[in-house]
A and B are shown apart, each in its own frame.
Chain A
Protein backbone atom coordinates (compact mmCIF):
# COMPACT_ATOMS: atom_id res chain seq x y z
CA UNK A 1 0.00 0.00 0.00
CA UNK A 2 1.22 3.52 -0.75
CA UNK A 3 1.73 6.26 1.80
CA UNK A 4 1.43 10.01 1.37
CA UNK A 5 5.21 10.09 0.95
CA UNK A 6 4.88 8.10 -2.27
CA UNK A 7 2.24 10.52 -3.51
CA UNK A 8 4.46 13.47 -2.65
CA UNK A 9 7.40 11.92 -4.50
CA UNK A 10 5.23 11.27 -7.54
CA UNK A 11 4.13 14.89 -7.44
CA UNK A 12 7.72 16.10 -7.25
CA UNK A 13 8.45 14.35 -10.54
CA UNK A 14 6.18 16.72 -12.42
CA UNK A 15 5.74 19.75 -10.18
CA UNK A 16 8.56 22.26 -9.76
CA UNK A 17 9.09 23.74 -6.33
CA UNK A 18 9.84 27.40 -5.82
CA UNK A 19 11.70 28.63 -2.77
CA UNK A 20 10.29 31.28 -0.45
CA UNK A 21 13.17 33.59 -1.39
CA UNK A 22 12.39 33.28 -5.09
CA UNK A 23 8.68 33.91 -4.59
CA UNK A 24 9.32 36.91 -2.38
CA UNK A 25 11.69 38.39 -4.96
CA UNK A 26 9.14 37.90 -7.73
CA UNK A 27 6.37 39.44 -5.66
CA UNK A 28 8.56 42.46 -4.96
CA UNK A 29 9.28 42.85 -8.67
CA UNK A 30 5.65 42.49 -9.64
CA UNK A 31 6.41 39.46 -11.82
CA UNK A 32 5.06 36.78 -9.53
CA UNK A 33 2.55 34.16 -10.70
CA UNK A 34 -0.85 34.09 -9.06
CA UNK A 35 -0.47 32.73 -5.54
CA UNK A 36 -3.08 30.33 -4.21
CA UNK A 37 -3.42 29.31 -0.58
CA UNK A 38 -4.74 25.74 -0.55
CA UNK A 39 -5.14 25.43 3.22
CA UNK A 40 -8.43 25.13 5.03
CA UNK A 41 -10.28 28.42 5.68
CA UNK A 42 -9.57 28.46 9.41
CA UNK A 43 -5.82 28.17 8.75
CA UNK A 44 -5.96 30.87 6.11
CA UNK A 45 -7.56 33.27 8.58
CA UNK A 46 -4.61 32.86 10.94
CA UNK A 47 -2.29 34.57 8.53
CA UNK A 48 -1.68 34.34 4.80
CA UNK A 49 0.70 35.68 2.20
CA UNK A 50 -0.60 39.03 1.01
CA UNK A 51 -2.42 38.86 -2.28
CA UNK A 52 -2.82 35.08 -2.16
CA UNK A 53 -6.17 33.75 -3.28
CA UNK A 54 -7.63 31.24 -0.83
CA UNK A 55 -8.99 28.15 -2.59
CA UNK A 56 -8.90 25.27 -0.20
CA UNK A 57 -7.62 21.96 -1.54
CA UNK A 58 -11.01 20.35 -1.02
CA UNK A 59 -12.61 22.57 -3.67
CA UNK A 60 -9.62 23.17 -5.91
CA UNK A 61 -10.50 21.05 -8.96
CA UNK A 62 -14.04 22.43 -8.90
CA UNK A 63 -13.23 26.12 -8.57
CA UNK A 64 -10.05 26.41 -10.61
CA UNK A 65 -11.50 26.19 -14.13
CA UNK A 66 -13.80 29.18 -13.51
CA UNK A 67 -11.16 31.21 -11.73
CA UNK A 68 -8.42 30.44 -14.25
CA UNK A 69 -9.77 29.08 -17.51
CA UNK A 70 -6.38 29.32 -19.24
CA UNK A 71 -4.32 26.19 -18.41
CA UNK A 72 -1.11 28.09 -19.09
CA UNK A 73 -1.78 30.57 -16.27
CA UNK A 74 1.30 30.67 -14.04
CA UNK A 75 0.28 29.57 -10.55
CA UNK A 76 2.07 28.96 -7.29
CA UNK A 77 0.33 26.92 -4.61
CA UNK A 78 1.24 26.95 -0.96
CA UNK A 79 0.10 25.30 2.26
CA UNK A 80 1.59 25.10 5.73
CA UNK A 81 4.63 22.94 5.02
CA UNK A 82 4.74 22.39 1.28
CA UNK A 83 3.30 18.89 1.15
CA UNK A 84 -0.41 19.48 0.57
CA UNK A 85 0.47 22.11 -2.02
CA UNK A 86 2.51 19.52 -3.95
CA UNK A 87 -0.41 17.11 -4.02
CA UNK A 88 -2.79 19.94 -4.95
CA UNK A 89 -0.48 21.09 -7.72
CA UNK A 90 -0.30 17.54 -9.07
CA UNK A 91 -4.08 17.47 -9.21
CA UNK A 92 -4.04 20.66 -11.28
CA UNK A 93 -1.35 19.18 -13.48
CA UNK A 94 -3.60 16.20 -14.09
CA UNK A 95 -6.35 18.59 -15.14
CA UNK A 96 -4.02 20.03 -17.75
CA UNK A 97 -2.50 23.03 -15.96
CA UNK A 98 1.09 23.13 -17.12
CA UNK A 99 2.46 26.11 -15.26
CA UNK A 100 1.92 25.21 -11.62
CA UNK A 101 4.58 25.27 -8.93
CA UNK A 102 4.52 24.53 -5.22
CA UNK A 103 6.10 26.66 -2.51
CA UNK A 104 8.84 24.61 -0.86
CA UNK A 105 8.51 24.74 2.90
CA UNK A 106 5.14 26.47 2.71
CA UNK A 107 4.05 29.40 4.81
CA UNK A 108 5.94 27.92 7.74
CA UNK A 109 9.19 28.63 5.90
CA UNK A 110 7.85 32.05 4.89
CA UNK A 111 7.32 32.93 8.56
CA UNK A 112 10.71 31.48 9.53
CA UNK A 113 12.26 34.08 7.27
CA UNK A 114 10.20 36.69 9.13
CA UNK A 115 8.27 37.67 6.04
CA UNK A 116 4.95 39.39 6.70
CA UNK A 117 1.60 37.64 6.67
CA UNK A 118 -1.75 39.33 6.60
CA UNK A 119 -4.46 38.35 8.98
CA UNK A 120 -7.64 38.86 7.08
CA UNK A 121 -10.67 40.25 8.74
CA UNK A 122 -13.53 38.46 7.04
CA UNK A 123 -16.02 40.73 5.32
CA UNK A 124 -19.03 41.58 7.46
CA UNK A 125 -22.49 40.58 6.25
CA UNK A 126 -23.14 44.23 5.34
CA UNK A 127 -19.95 44.31 3.29
CA UNK A 128 -20.79 41.04 1.57
CA UNK A 129 -24.02 42.70 0.51
CA UNK A 130 -22.56 46.11 -0.36
CA UNK A 131 -19.75 44.76 -2.49
CA UNK A 132 -21.64 41.80 -3.92
CA UNK A 133 -21.21 43.12 -7.46
CA UNK A 134 -17.45 43.00 -6.94
CA UNK A 135 -17.40 39.64 -5.21
CA UNK A 136 -19.02 37.91 -8.14
CA UNK A 137 -16.23 39.01 -10.49
CA UNK A 138 -13.44 36.44 -10.85
CA UNK A 139 -10.88 39.24 -10.99
CA UNK A 140 -12.01 40.60 -7.62
CA UNK A 141 -13.66 38.16 -5.22
CA UNK A 142 -13.41 38.45 -1.46
CA UNK A 143 -9.63 38.62 -1.57
CA UNK A 144 -9.74 41.48 -4.05
CA UNK A 145 -12.30 43.38 -2.02
CA UNK A 146 -10.12 43.01 1.05
CA UNK A 147 -7.18 44.36 -0.98
CA UNK A 148 -9.32 47.38 -1.86
CA UNK A 149 -10.27 47.89 1.78
CA UNK A 150 -6.59 47.73 2.79
CA UNK A 151 -5.45 50.10 0.05
CA UNK A 152 -4.40 53.69 0.66
CA UNK A 153 -4.85 56.13 -2.18
CA UNK A 154 -3.96 59.82 -2.11
CA UNK A 155 -6.01 62.17 -4.26
CA UNK A 156 -4.21 65.32 -5.24
CA UNK A 157 -7.01 67.82 -5.68
CA UNK A 158 -10.71 67.46 -4.89
CA UNK A 159 -11.83 69.42 -7.91
CA UNK A 160 -12.78 68.54 -11.44
CA UNK A 161 -10.65 65.41 -11.67
CA UNK A 162 -10.48 64.47 -8.04
CA UNK A 163 -14.23 64.57 -7.46
CA UNK A 164 -15.47 61.74 -9.68
CA UNK A 165 -12.41 59.68 -8.84
CA UNK A 166 -13.04 60.11 -5.13
CA UNK A 167 -16.69 59.16 -5.54
CA UNK A 168 -15.92 55.95 -7.42
CA UNK A 169 -13.02 54.90 -5.24
CA UNK A 170 -15.09 55.46 -2.11
CA UNK A 171 -18.03 53.51 -3.51
CA UNK A 172 -15.68 50.69 -4.46
CA UNK A 173 -14.45 50.47 -0.89
CA UNK A 174 -10.88 51.76 -1.08
CA UNK A 175 -10.24 51.79 2.64
CA UNK A 176 -8.17 54.95 3.03
CA UNK A 177 -8.54 58.00 0.82
CA UNK A 178 -6.25 60.92 1.45
CA UNK A 179 -7.53 64.14 -0.07
CA UNK A 180 -5.33 67.17 -0.40
CA UNK A 181 -6.82 70.47 -1.51
CA UNK A 182 -6.40 73.93 -0.01
CA UNK A 183 -9.49 75.39 -1.66
CA UNK A 184 -12.98 76.23 -0.56
CA UNK A 185 -16.09 75.12 -2.47
CA UNK A 186 -17.38 77.74 -4.88
CA UNK A 187 -20.82 77.73 -6.54
CA UNK A 188 -19.21 77.52 -9.98
CA UNK A 189 -17.51 74.28 -8.93
CA UNK A 190 -20.77 72.41 -8.55
CA UNK A 191 -21.35 72.05 -12.28
CA UNK A 192 -18.68 69.33 -12.40
CA UNK A 193 -17.14 68.75 -8.99
CA UNK A 194 -19.70 66.19 -7.98
CA UNK A 195 -18.11 65.44 -4.66
CA UNK A 196 -19.50 68.73 -3.37
CA UNK A 197 -23.13 69.79 -3.03
CA UNK A 198 -25.02 73.06 -2.67
CA UNK A 199 -24.89 73.25 1.15
CA UNK A 200 -21.10 72.83 0.91
CA UNK A 201 -20.49 76.19 -0.78
CA UNK A 202 -18.04 78.11 1.36
CA UNK A 203 -16.68 75.03 3.13
CA UNK A 204 -13.21 73.60 2.75
CA UNK A 205 -13.24 71.10 -0.10
CA UNK A 206 -11.52 68.42 1.95
CA UNK A 207 -14.12 68.67 4.68
CA UNK A 208 -16.97 68.51 2.19
CA UNK A 209 -15.22 65.51 0.63
CA UNK A 210 -14.90 63.77 3.96
CA UNK A 211 -18.56 64.23 4.81
CA UNK A 212 -19.86 63.15 1.40
CA UNK A 213 -17.69 60.06 1.39
CA UNK A 214 -18.50 59.07 4.94
CA UNK A 215 -22.19 59.10 4.07
CA UNK A 216 -21.63 57.15 0.86
CA UNK A 217 -19.51 54.46 2.43
CA UNK A 218 -18.62 54.26 6.12
CA UNK A 219 -15.95 51.63 5.35
CA UNK A 220 -13.79 54.42 3.92
CA UNK A 221 -11.52 56.56 6.09
CA UNK A 222 -10.90 59.98 4.61
CA UNK A 223 -7.70 61.76 5.61
CA UNK A 224 -8.16 65.44 4.78
CA UNK A 225 -5.20 67.73 4.14
CA UNK A 226 -6.51 71.31 3.93
CA UNK A 227 -3.28 72.63 2.53
CA UNK A 228 -1.50 73.19 -0.75
CA UNK A 229 1.05 70.59 -1.68
CA UNK A 230 4.55 72.03 -1.47
CA UNK A 231 8.11 70.80 -1.49
CA UNK A 232 8.06 71.00 2.31
CA UNK A 233 5.06 68.76 2.94
CA UNK A 234 4.87 66.41 -0.03
CA UNK A 235 7.25 63.67 1.05
CA UNK A 236 5.78 63.50 4.51
CA UNK A 237 2.27 63.25 3.06
CA UNK A 238 2.71 60.79 0.22
CA UNK A 239 4.98 58.27 1.89
CA UNK A 240 2.11 56.47 3.64
CA UNK A 241 0.08 55.89 0.49
CA UNK A 242 0.20 53.10 -2.08
CA UNK A 243 -1.00 55.03 -5.10
CA UNK A 244 -1.18 58.71 -5.99
CA UNK A 245 -3.97 60.06 -8.17
CA UNK A 246 -2.92 63.34 -9.69
CA UNK A 247 -5.86 65.63 -10.33
CA UNK A 248 -3.94 68.83 -9.79
CA UNK A 249 -4.71 71.99 -11.66
CA UNK A 250 -1.31 73.51 -12.34
CA UNK A 251 1.96 72.44 -13.89
CA UNK A 252 4.23 73.24 -10.97
CA UNK A 253 2.29 70.80 -8.80
CA UNK A 254 2.29 68.18 -11.56
CA UNK A 255 6.08 68.24 -11.78
CA UNK A 256 6.41 68.22 -8.01
CA UNK A 257 4.06 65.25 -7.67
CA UNK A 258 5.79 63.43 -10.51
CA UNK A 259 9.23 63.83 -8.98
CA UNK A 260 8.18 62.95 -5.45
CA UNK A 261 6.15 59.93 -6.58
CA UNK A 262 9.05 58.68 -8.68
CA UNK A 263 11.61 59.14 -5.93
CA UNK A 264 9.37 57.36 -3.41
CA UNK A 265 8.41 54.59 -5.83
CA UNK A 266 4.69 55.38 -5.92
CA UNK A 267 2.61 54.82 -9.04
CA UNK A 268 0.93 58.02 -10.19
CA UNK A 269 -2.42 57.79 -12.00
CA UNK A 270 -2.23 60.97 -13.96
CA UNK A 271 -5.20 62.71 -15.51
CA UNK A 272 -5.74 66.01 -17.25
CA UNK A 273 -8.76 67.72 -18.78
CA UNK A 274 -9.37 70.80 -20.86
CA UNK A 275 -12.83 71.75 -22.15
CA UNK A 276 -14.01 68.71 -24.09
CA UNK A 277 -10.80 66.71 -24.04
CA UNK A 278 -9.34 64.47 -21.42
CA UNK A 279 -6.34 62.24 -21.04
CA UNK A 280 -5.21 59.62 -18.59
CA UNK A 281 -2.11 57.50 -18.11
CA UNK A 282 -0.33 55.61 -15.34
CA UNK A 283 3.19 56.74 -14.47
CA UNK A 284 4.79 53.74 -12.80
CA UNK A 285 8.36 54.18 -11.52
CA UNK A 286 10.65 51.69 -13.20
CA UNK A 287 7.95 50.33 -15.50
CA UNK A 288 7.16 53.23 -17.78
CA UNK A 289 7.77 56.89 -18.50
CA UNK A 290 7.44 59.67 -15.98
CA UNK A 291 5.82 63.04 -16.57
CA UNK A 292 9.12 64.62 -17.57
CA UNK A 293 9.60 61.98 -20.29
CA UNK A 294 6.38 63.21 -21.85
CA UNK A 295 6.68 66.90 -21.07
CA UNK A 296 10.28 67.98 -20.51
CA UNK A 297 9.01 71.53 -20.13
CA UNK A 298 5.60 73.05 -19.53
CA UNK A 299 3.74 74.93 -22.28
CA UNK A 300 4.33 78.70 -22.42
CA UNK A 301 2.41 80.57 -19.74
CA UNK A 302 -1.02 81.62 -20.99
CA UNK A 303 -1.33 78.94 -23.65
CA UNK A 304 -3.02 76.46 -21.37
CA UNK A 305 -4.92 77.78 -18.37
CA UNK A 306 -4.39 76.26 -14.98
Chain B
Protein backbone atom coordinates (compact mmCIF):
# COMPACT_ATOMS: atom_id res chain seq x y z
CA UNK B 1 0.00 0.00 0.00
CA UNK B 2 2.92 2.31 0.67
CA UNK B 3 4.14 1.62 -2.86
CA UNK B 4 0.71 2.39 -4.34
CA UNK B 5 0.50 5.68 -2.49
CA UNK B 6 4.00 6.60 -3.62
CA UNK B 7 3.15 5.94 -7.26
CA UNK B 8 -0.02 8.02 -6.96
CA UNK B 9 1.94 10.91 -5.51
CA UNK B 10 4.52 10.74 -8.31
CA UNK B 11 1.86 10.69 -10.99
CA UNK B 12 -0.36 13.20 -9.23
CA UNK B 13 -3.33 10.93 -9.80
CA UNK B 14 -6.06 9.49 -7.62
CA UNK B 15 -6.67 10.49 -4.02
CA UNK B 16 -3.69 9.91 -1.79
CA UNK B 17 -4.23 9.15 1.89
CA UNK B 18 -3.62 12.72 2.99
CA UNK B 19 -5.67 13.36 6.11
CA UNK B 20 -6.79 9.74 6.13
CA UNK B 21 -5.41 6.77 7.99
CA UNK B 22 -6.13 3.38 6.48
CA UNK B 23 -5.93 0.54 8.98
CA UNK B 24 -5.92 -3.10 8.04
CA UNK B 25 -6.68 -6.14 10.18
CA UNK B 26 -5.36 -9.22 8.44
CA UNK B 27 -7.06 -11.70 10.73
CA UNK B 28 -10.51 -10.26 10.17
CA UNK B 29 -9.69 -9.06 6.65
CA UNK B 30 -11.12 -5.66 7.44
CA UNK B 31 -10.07 -2.19 6.38
CA UNK B 32 -11.02 0.91 8.28
CA UNK B 33 -10.53 4.52 7.39
CA UNK B 34 -9.98 7.15 10.06
CA UNK B 35 -10.15 10.87 9.28
CA UNK B 36 -7.10 12.75 10.48
CA UNK B 37 -6.82 16.44 11.14
CA UNK B 38 -3.91 18.79 11.53
CA UNK B 39 -3.57 19.75 15.14
CA UNK B 40 -3.46 23.56 15.38
CA UNK B 41 -1.39 23.12 18.55
CA UNK B 42 1.09 20.76 16.89
CA UNK B 43 4.61 21.81 17.88
CA UNK B 44 5.88 21.23 14.36
CA UNK B 45 3.16 22.15 11.90
CA UNK B 46 0.61 23.94 14.05
CA UNK B 47 -0.21 27.61 14.27
CA UNK B 48 2.55 28.43 16.78
CA UNK B 49 5.28 25.91 16.03
CA UNK B 50 8.14 25.52 18.47
CA UNK B 51 10.17 23.11 16.36
CA UNK B 52 12.07 24.98 13.65
CA UNK B 53 15.04 22.70 13.17
CA UNK B 54 16.26 19.24 14.18
CA UNK B 55 18.37 20.31 17.15
CA UNK B 56 16.01 18.67 19.64
CA UNK B 57 16.86 15.27 18.16
CA UNK B 58 20.48 15.71 19.15
CA UNK B 59 19.52 14.91 22.72
CA UNK B 60 18.50 11.28 23.09
CA UNK B 61 14.93 10.82 24.25
CA UNK B 62 14.12 14.50 24.18
CA UNK B 63 12.68 14.57 20.70
CA UNK B 64 9.73 12.29 20.90
CA UNK B 65 7.45 14.09 23.28
CA UNK B 66 7.33 17.83 22.86
CA UNK B 67 4.46 19.35 24.72
CA UNK B 68 2.52 21.57 22.36
CA UNK B 69 2.61 25.14 23.55
CA UNK B 70 6.05 24.68 25.03
CA UNK B 71 7.08 28.30 24.39
CA UNK B 72 6.76 30.87 27.22
CA UNK B 73 3.76 32.54 25.73
CA UNK B 74 1.68 29.34 25.63
CA UNK B 75 1.95 27.60 28.93
CA UNK B 76 -1.16 25.46 28.56
CA UNK B 77 -0.76 21.71 28.77
CA UNK B 78 -2.56 19.79 26.06
CA UNK B 79 -4.34 16.51 26.77
CA UNK B 80 -2.99 13.51 24.88
CA UNK B 81 -4.71 13.20 21.51
CA UNK B 82 -6.29 9.84 20.71
CA UNK B 83 -4.21 8.17 18.00
Contact = CB atoms under 8 A, between A and B. Distances in A.
B22 A263 contact: no
Interface string B48-81: 0001111101101101111110000000001011
Interface range on chain B (Cβ under 8 Å from partner): 35 or more
A280 B58 CA distance: 28
B2 A298 contact: no
User: Which of B6, B18, B24, B57 has most chain A Cβ within 10 Å?
Assistant: B6
A283 to B, nearest CB: 8
A292 B45 CA distance: 8
A296 B39 CA distance: 10
Interface stretch (A12-20, A199-207, A245-253): A245-253
Interface string A192-224: 000000000000000000000000000000000
Interface string A251-265: 110011011101100
A243 B2 contact: no
B54 A259 contact: yes
Contacts of B2: 161, 165, 245, 247, 269, 271, 280
A293 B37 contact: yes
A242 B80 contact: no
Contacts of B58: 231
Interface in A136-158: 139-140, 144, 147-148, 151, 153
A294 B43 CA distance: 12
A169 B10 CA distance: 11
A283 B36 CA distance: 10
A8 B21 CA distance: 49
B23 A294 contact: no
B64 A169 contact: no
A279 B54 contact: no
A153 B4 CA distance: 13
